[in-house]
Structures are given as structure tokens and as C-alpha cells.
A and B are shown apart, each in its own frame.
Chain A
Amino acid sequence: MANRIDEVTAPRRIVIVGASLAGLRAAETLRLEGFSGQLTLIGDEPYPPYDRPPLSKQVLSGWLPVDHITLPVQVKLDARWLLGVPAKRLDMLKRQVVLADGQTADFDYLLIATGTRARPWPDADEAALEGVCSVRNRDDASKLYKLLSQKPQRVLVVGGGFIGSEVASVCRDLGLEVTLAERGPAPLGGALGTTIGSIVAREQRKYGVDLRVNTVVTALEGNGQGRLRGAQLSDGSTVEADVAVIALGALRNVEWLFKANLSADERGVVCDTYCRALDNKGDVVENIFVAGDIARWPHPLFHYEEELLAVEHWGNAIDQAETAAHNMLNPSFDYRPHTHMPNFWSSMFGASIKSVGLPTVADQVVITQASFGMRRFTAVYGRQGKVVAAVSFNAGQMLPSYQTLVEQSAPFPPDLHASDQPQTFAPQSAGFPHAGHPKYDTGAEPNMVTP
């Protein structure tokens, strides 16, 4: 690919803000595709890029030390790393990023990959109690690992999305008592709907989790010496707990862009299918690209009523970063659109969960190929008579064939191996909240379509 780069118009300086999964993968792609100019990565964390999925799984269980999860590099990056200081401001006219310590980085092309952070517990004093934490970065996971190794009497998990449920699962593996409070009618209800969520609820309870659904934590209580003692719940009950894990979803790291002429707000930064940022008026900014958890873009397959898609998952961060980097280096007739099929995996309560497509837009769901008393099954999601997603529980091998159905917008319910594998159940409501109603587990749903 290197020979494609035109020596005259080739960018000389590329700056990437956000030195995590998307930022690193973009940097690698730039070098692999022959970019030989100055490459700068700016990251507010002091660490080189590391992988987040193990933070709520193997790092908490103690199987992986937290300094073991640094991501590999596939090519010599020869980059300038500005780590440990956040970018504070973007000057689009000067083509310059200003850091909080006054340093500056000039660019011809910029990639915005600042991702998200954990939504904090709303009461700052309660959040400051010893024993309260969230799980988004290395420091969070180190802190929670230490708290869990002190064998707390009970852990309270606030929020039953993926991260909350994974943490609850690890707590049980460690033999700890755990209460999980979820505002909606079922854990994972925001991501998978309450029909599949209630199957997850049953598994969680079997695994020994004290699960409280339709329940909000109204206050965290200290012991008078700054340590967490317990919490009050909306049903009037109290829970005694010495550790609380706040898992209420994520906030997008967009504040540093608020003064720039970009289409950026708390829902993310809007870009086109080629990953180019849009300005306030909706026009393309040719030299600024966006990738990963922070991006919102029009996905050709999931573009209902002009809505934009944001995908907070590992696979999208990688694909979008690679596409953005490729497009930065190539003339527009060689641009690649970002048509990534959303996917993710999770692991909890002895189950390996894998998803393709977009469950959150479904109106119906049907369970297929259930076996071993529902230990293995695949849930196929439909919207207005078309397949939009499939989620497998301990049945990942089947997923590629369901992916084809999603890609083809095949009729729902699907007609799968009708003779030997009868559908286990009839289609039923997927159980997502109706438009205009509050979302279950606010912000915790990983795939969101936002207007």
C-alpha cells in the first residue's frame, strides 16, 4: 500500500488523541500502510495502551496481574508518546492540540479516540467513601482487586449491565457475597431486552447473586470514619456492604472538544461513514477523523429514521480505527466506508455470551437451538419482520451463520434447519423500553442508537 501515498499531498504530521485500543490500532495501521511522517499519541493515562475487557474479569479474579494486559504492537510505531497529560483544547484553525500542561501538538490530520469514562455515582461525598469504586481503567481495577482480596463481607454492585454483571460473577467465583441492584426489570435488559434478561436473572440467582431488580440504590452510607457501611434501596430496605461497585454505564470524553467547531455533545462526536468528523453545520471536516467508543455515525444497515449508531465495544474500536487510518492516507476514491457489523463477547456466570448485529432495535426475539436445560442457546432478534441480531450463550460456533442472516436482513422469525432443529419457542416481545421512556440501566447498554 505504501506506493499509494503521494509524496506531495501526503500528511507529514498525524496526531492521535486517546492512547487506548482505537488510538493504538490506528497508529499501527498508519505505519503498516506506509505513513512515514511524524506520529504523536496523546493519552491522559500514564500507561501504554492496554486492553480493558480483562479489567472486569481476569484482573479481578486475580488470574492476570494488571500490568500484564498491555496491548502488543504489530509494527514499529516510531511515535512520540505524550502520556499522562490530557488534551485540553483543539484549535482547528491552527491545526493544533493544546495539552493541559501547555504543550502543543501540530497536525495535518487528527484522530479523535478519547472514548468514555465511567459514569460517577451522583453524590460526590458518598462516592468518596472508602470502598466505593468503578471499573473503567487500570487504576480502578487495581483498587477493586485490592478491595476484593481483603475479603469483604458483601459487595454491592450498582447497575446490572455487562460490567456490573461481570463483576458480580467474579465476586461469586471468589466466594464473596454479592448484591446486585438493577433499576430495570432484568439484568442486561438494556443491552439484550428483558426477555433474554430474565434468563440471565435466573442464572445469576442460581450462581448465588442476591439480585434486586426494579430497584434503585438511593444512598450510600458511611460508618462515620469515611468507610462505606451499606446502602439504602428504593424499596425501603438496606444492604450492608463494605464494597460498592458503581456500574452505571459510561460518559463520553468530549469536553475537550466543546469549544471546537465540531458536531460533538454528550452523545459523542458525529462522523460520516468514512470516519470524517462533521462540523457544527454538519459539513465534513476533511482532516479530522473519529474512531471507537466516542464516535457516532450513520450505519447503512442500522440507519432507522436517520439515527446515528454508537457502539461501545472492542471489535468496533478496532475496525473503525483501521478504517479511519486507511482513509487518512488515501485519496477519496480509495476511501473505505465503516460498515462494521456490531459484535461483542462477554463472560459471566459460567456462560460465554457472544453477539452480532444490534439487539437494541429489535421488537421480537426467538430462542433457537436450546439444549442442556438452556445452558446453550441462541436468541435471534427481529425488527419489523427482519433479523437484526443474534446472541449466543455457550453456542458461539453458530454465530457466523446468524451473522449472514443479519447482513441479508433475512425474514424474521428465521427458518433454521426446520426439520431437525425445531424452534424451541415462539417469537415473543424482546422487552426493550418503548421510545421516550427511560432506558433500563441508564447508559449501561453497550449498543445505543441515539436520535
Chain B
Amino acid sequence: MRVVVDLNRCQSYGQCCYAAPTVFRFHNGESLEYNYAPEDDLDEQVLRAAKACPVQAISIGIEDEAYEALEQKVQQHG
């Protein structure tokens, strides 16, 4: 799954950190940081986090094979 957070919109409420603590966290207690590419087994947690965000700052991508193929191509070529 791929995720991006609009950190201009984020109000540091921290609900996402409760819902998916290994994906979202606060750096030094103040700035939200997050994993853009959480493992598949975290999908449910991440969906819950996105739903819990009071300002809808978390966007989740769709599965797009053609798009994923671009990244795989780069990794194969080195």
C-alpha cells in the first residue's frame, strides 16, 4: 500500500499514531513522520488511521500495476 500525508493540513492530533503505530509516529514529539509504503499486513491499520484523521490529511493510493511496474523496472536496472 502507498500513502501520502498532507502535512500542511495535519494538525498533529495523533489519531493515526494510535491506529497504526508502526506507520505513523512523532519525531521529537512534534513532527509527524510516516512510512509511505507500509507492508501489506498493515493495510487494515492504515485504512483505520486514514479514517480516524480528523482533517482527512491521509491519502491512500489504489493498486495500479502499470505504475508499480515503473518502480520494479528501476530496481531491476540497478
Contact = CB atoms under 8 A, between A and B. Distances in A.
Given A47-B74, A345-B7, A72 B31 contact: no
Contacts of A70: 2, 36-37, 71
A64 B10 CA distance: 20
B71 A345 contact: no
A79 B64 CA distance: 11
Given A48-B70, A70-B36, A73-B67, A345 B4 contact: no
Given A72-B60, A78-B66, A51 B36 contact: yes
Contacts of A51: 4, 36
Interface in B19-78: 27-31, 33, 35-37, 59-62, 64, 66-67, 70-71, 74-75, 77
B71 A47 contact: yes
A72 B59 contact: yes
Given A76-B62, A396-B12, A71 B30 contact: no
B36 A64 contact: yes
Interface residues of B, number: 30
B71 A397 contact: no
Contacts of A352: 12, 30-31
Contacts of A347: 27, 30-31, 33
A64 B35 contact: yes
A92 B9 CA distance: 38
B37 to A, nearest CB: 4
Contacts of A296: none
Given A345-B7, A352-B12, A77 B35 contact: no
B75 A74 contact: no
Given A352-B30, A352-B31, A354-B8, A72 B61 contact: yes
Nearest to A138: B74
B77 A46 contact: yes
Interface in A362-391: none
Nearest to B75: A67
Interface of A: 46-48, 51, 53-54, 57-58, 63-64, 67-79, 81, 83, 314-315, 318, 343-345, 347, 350-352, 354, 394, 396-397
Interface of B: 2-4, 6-8, 10-12, 27-31, 33, 35-37, 59-62, 64, 66-67, 70-71, 74-75, 77
Chain A to chain B: the 9 pairs with minimum beta-carbon distance, closest first: A72-B61, A72-B2, A347-B31, A48-B70, A350-B28, A352-B30, A352-B31, A68-B37, A345-B7
